[in-house]
């Protein structure tokens, strides 16, 4: 089950939200949320639910042990055992096939490599549980005494399978006590419908075009325009798809009285690679910053050690995204640019407008090639695509030109959805305030009220007949 399925939108989630609003106590609301969350997760495979419950139990017991001891040695031992167990489980399910096939390629031994099923969302809920255990060790949060509450935190269907990575310290108080109000419901519905439209109308359209333009059988003869357009549509797709999921998760959280932090802040408006990563998948980048980079020494050490710390972080970031060498290379690709920016270029934080535009264009170029590396797990196909991009098969063809002209109005809409245009307009209107004519104010209020209905209806039109539209980050 995914958020963009009609069954989820019009039955599962509506039923869950309706029940929550008829229940007054947080304790009972939590029980309802847990039941729905476990059903949601088990929908993709009941057996995999045992792994989620088991890993939560390991972290629950580990945190209780850490909290119970006063001796630092035993606290550290409890932390090490708990984290090591989580990482072993994550490594087994996510990376054992990859490691075995890599070793087979290097050593040349014969034998069948077992294909281990990747549990949905294992990277996300593992990181959430590990951050909880570390925070208990650091004394930032008390150990949760109720296993089922910790299981609810790990299994919340809003964000369990594809993020954002929600830290326990951000929601622990609301798990104990919160209120459900009509303003929260209204705000949550608006945010949810925005995400649903981004996914159903924009991201899915981009994804279909990417599948055509970058098809394995089409790439050997693809022209530069065809490959270039595939890259543009993939840039749009991956942002619209993942940010849509985060929008929907944040919106559903608001409707349930829970507040999740923002996961995207218009990363394609960044003027440097480091700024891009302060805006893209914020919950993941801050996780690696707080739980890997800073504990390794962060910036509080020699230049050589800083570079090593960055190397470790970005190697792990790439590996986190998938069990394939292209993801590792993708992480190290950004490592190189971040080191270049940090120690050689040292760009100013507040460039003048003309320089900022040029820097945004340069950053987008880096990100464009980064997404090509990210997309092609088969590196030979990546080489074929790059050859085509630089004109090995000619610069244009009728199919690519017709694709461009057929989507000449769609492209600007998708690009505006990726840029901070609407927030800028809202900020401008707030600044004008009373200067706005009364009729215009009335029209704006009406548009704000009608927009969720229109977005929902538009999404419904695009979803009818579309039986398979998973989110990209489900595979990570």
158 is catalytic: no
Integer Cα distance of 192 and 13 in angstroms: 11
Integer Cα distance of 270 and 347 in angstroms: 12
Considering only CA atoms, which of 214, 208, 210 is closest in space to residue 389? 214
**Residue 45 phi, psi (nearest 5):** 155, 100
The CA–CA distances, whole Å, from 216 to 203, 211, 328, 377, 401 equal 21, 9, 22, 12, 20
Residue with tokens 């920016």: 341
Considering only CA atoms, which of 306, 188, 207 is closest in space to residue 247? 188
Residues 6+ apart with CB under 8 A from 285: 277, 278, 317
**Residue 392 phi, psi (nearest 5):** -65, -30
Structure tokens at 394: 């000619």
Sign of CA dihedral 12, 456, 1, 131: negative
Considering only CA atoms, which of 87, 68, 88 is closest in space to residue 78? 68
Torsion of Cα atoms, 306 then 311 then 313 then 315, to 10°: 180
List beta partners, residue 392. Answer: 394
Active site residue: 27, 281, 321, 407, which one?
A: 321
Please list the active-site residues: 321
């Amino acid at each position: 089950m995914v958020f963009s399925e009609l069954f989820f939108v019009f039955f599962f989630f509506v039923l869950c939200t309706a029940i929550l609003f008829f229940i007054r106590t947080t304790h009972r609301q939590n029980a309802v949320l847990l039941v729905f969350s476990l059903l949601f997760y088990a929908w993709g495979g009941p057996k995999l639910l045992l792994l989620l419950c088991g890993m939560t139990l390991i972290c629950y017991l580990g945190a209780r042990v850490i909290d119970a001891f006063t001796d630092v040695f035993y606290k550290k031992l409890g932390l090490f055992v708990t984290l090591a167990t989580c990482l072993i489980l994550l490594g087994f399910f996510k990376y054992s096939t990859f490691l075995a096939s890599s070793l087979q390629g290097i050593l040349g031994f014969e034998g069948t490599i077992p294909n281990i099923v990747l549990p949905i969302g294992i990277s996300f809920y593992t990181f959430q549980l590990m951050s909880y255990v570390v925070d208990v060790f650091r004394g930032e949060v008390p150990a949760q005494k109720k296993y089922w509450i910790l299981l609810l935190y790990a299994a919340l269907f809003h964000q369990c399978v594809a993020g954002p990575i929600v830290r326990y310290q951000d929601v622990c108080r609301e798990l104990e006590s919160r209120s459900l109000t009509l303003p929260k419901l209204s705000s949550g519905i608006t945010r949810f419908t925005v995400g649903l439209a981004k996914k159903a109308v924009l991201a899915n359209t981009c994804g279909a075009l990417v599948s055509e333009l970058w098809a394995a059988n089409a790439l050997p003869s693809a022209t530069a325009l065809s490959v270039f357009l595939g890259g543009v549509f993939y840039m749009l797709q991956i942002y619209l798809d993942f940010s849509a999921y985060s929008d929907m998760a944040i919106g559903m959280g608001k409707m349930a009285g829970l507040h999740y932090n923002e996961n995207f802040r218009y990363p394609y408006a960044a003027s440097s690679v480091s700024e891009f990563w302060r805006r893209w998948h914020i919950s993941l980048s801050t996780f690696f910053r707080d739980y890997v980079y800073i504990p390794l020494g962060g910036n509080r050490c020699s230049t050589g050690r800083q570079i090593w710390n960055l190397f470790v972080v970005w190697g792990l970031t790439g590996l986190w995204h998938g069990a394939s060498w292209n993801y590792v290379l993708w992480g190290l690709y950004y490592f190189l640019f971040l080191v270049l920016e940090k120690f050689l270029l040292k760009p100013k934080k507040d460039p003048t407008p003309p320089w900022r535009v040029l820097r945004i264009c340069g950053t987008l170029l880096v990100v464009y090639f980064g997404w090509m590396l990210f997309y092609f797990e088969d590196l030979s196909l990546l080489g074929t695509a790059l050859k085509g991009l630089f004109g090995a098969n000619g610069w244009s063809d009728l199919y690519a030109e017709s694709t461009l002209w057929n989507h000449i109005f769609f492209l600007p809409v998708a690009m505006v959805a990726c840029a901070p245009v609407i927030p800028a307009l809202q900020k401008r209107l707030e600044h004008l305030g009373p200067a706005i004519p009364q009729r215009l104010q009335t029209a704006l209020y009406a548009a704000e009220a009608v927009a969720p209905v229109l977005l929902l209806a538009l999404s419904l039109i695009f979803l009818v007949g579309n039986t398979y539209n998973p989110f990209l980050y489900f595979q990570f």
